[in-house]
Amino acid sequence: MHSEPDVAASRPVARRGRESETSKSALTRERILNAAAIVLNRNGYAGTRLSDIAAIAELQAPAIYYHFASRDELIQEVVQVGLRRTMNHVRKSLDALGPGARPMERILTAVGAHLEIVLRESEFAAAAIRNAAQLPPAIRDVQLLDQRRYGALWRTLVTEGIAEGEVSGDLDPWAARMLVIGALNWAPEWWREERGTLEDIVHTARLLVRQGLSPG
Amino acid sequence: MHSEPDVAASRPVARRGRESETSKSALTRERILNAAAIVLNRNGYAGTRLSDIAAIAELQAPAIYYHFASRDELIQEVVQVGLRRTMNHVRKSLDALGPGARPMERILTAVGAHLEIVLRESEFAAAAIRNAAQLPPAIRDVQLLDQRRYGALWRTLVTEGIAEGEVSGDLDPWAARMLVIGALNWAPEWWREERGTLEDIVHTARLLVRQGLSPG
DNA sequence: CCTACGATCTAATCTTCGTAAGAAAAAGGA
DNA sequence: TCCTTTTTCTTACGAAGATTAGATCGTAGG
Q: In this complex, which residue's CA is closest to the C1' atom of nucleotide D20?
A: A62
pLDDT of A58 over the 60 cut: yes
> What's the pLDDT tens digit per position in B149-206?
999 999 999 999 999 999 999 999 999 999 999 999 999 999 999 988 999 999 999 9
> What's the pLDDT tens digit per position in A81-107?
999 999 999 999 999 998 999 999 999
Average of per-residue pLDDT across A200-211: 97
B134, B181, B209 ranked by CB distance to A212: nearest: B209
Predicted local distance difference test score (pLDDT) of residue A19:
44
Contacting A with CB below 8 Å, chain B residues are 42-47, 132-134, 168, 170-172, 174-176, 178-187, 189-191, 195-196, 200-201, 203-205, 207-209, 211-214, 216
A13-17, A147-151, B6-10, B180-184: the lowest-pLDDT one: B6-10
What confidence category does residue A1 fall into, taking pLDDT thresholds of 50, 70 and 90?
A: very low
A17/chain B closest Cα distance in angstroms: 35
> What's the pLDDT tens digit per position in B21-47?
554 667 889 999 999 999 999 999 999
pTM score, whole prediction: 0.89
B19/chain A closest Cα distance in angstroms: 32
What confidence category does residue B9 fall into, taking pLDDT thresholds of 50, 70 and 90?
A: very low
Predicted local distance difference test score (pLDDT) of residue B24:
61
pLDDT of A139 over the 90 cut: yes
As a whole number of angstroms, the distance between CA A64 and CA A71 comes to: 9
Predicted local distance difference test score (pLDDT) of residue A42:
96
Record: contact A196-B211, CB cut-off 8 A: no
As a whole number of angstroms, the distance between CA B125 and CA B78 comes to: 9
A105: number of Cβ within 10 Å: 15
Sort B90 into a burial class: Cβ within 10 Å, 0-12 / 13-18 / 19+.
Answer: buried
Of B142, B16, B152, B156, whose CA–CA distance to B78 is shortest?
B142
Predicted local distance difference test score (pLDDT) of residue A15:
37
pLDDT of B1 over the 50 cut: no
Identify the closest residue of chain B to A135 by CA–CA distance: B43
Predicted local distance difference test score (pLDDT) of residue B195:
87
Average of per-residue pLDDT across A110-126: 95
pLDDT of B15 over the 60 cut: no
pLDDT of A71 over the 80 cut: yes
B44, B172, B182 ranked by CB distance to A46: nearest: B44
Mutate which: A208, A209, A213, A214, vs B, most B CBs within 10 A: A208
pLDDT of A10 over the 50 cut: no
Contact B79, B139 (CB under 8 A): yes
A143 CB neighbours in chain B (<8 A) are none
Nucleotides of D under 7 A from a protein CB: 6-12, 16-22
Measured in whole angstroms, the distance separating CA B211 from the mean position of its chain's CA atoms is 26
pLDDT of B60 over the 70 cut: yes
Mean pLDDT of chain A: 89
> Does A27 or A36 have the greater pLDDT score?
A36
Record: contact A211-B214, CB cut-off 8 A: yes
Contact B112, A168 (CB under 8 A): no
As a whole number of angstroms, the distance between CA A178 and CA B28 comes to: 38
pLDDT of A2 over the 90 cut: no
One-character DSSP codes across B54-71: HHHHTS-GGGHHHH-S-H
Nucleotide D7 C1' to residue B25 CA (A): 8
Contacts across the A-B interface (CB distance below 8 Å): 138
Mean pLDDT of chain B: 89
Nucleotide D5 C1' to residue B22 CA (A): 20
pLDDT of A120 over the 80 cut: yes
> What's the pLDDT tens digit per position in B72-126?
999 999 999 999 999 999 999 999 998 999 999 999 999 999 999 999 987 999 9
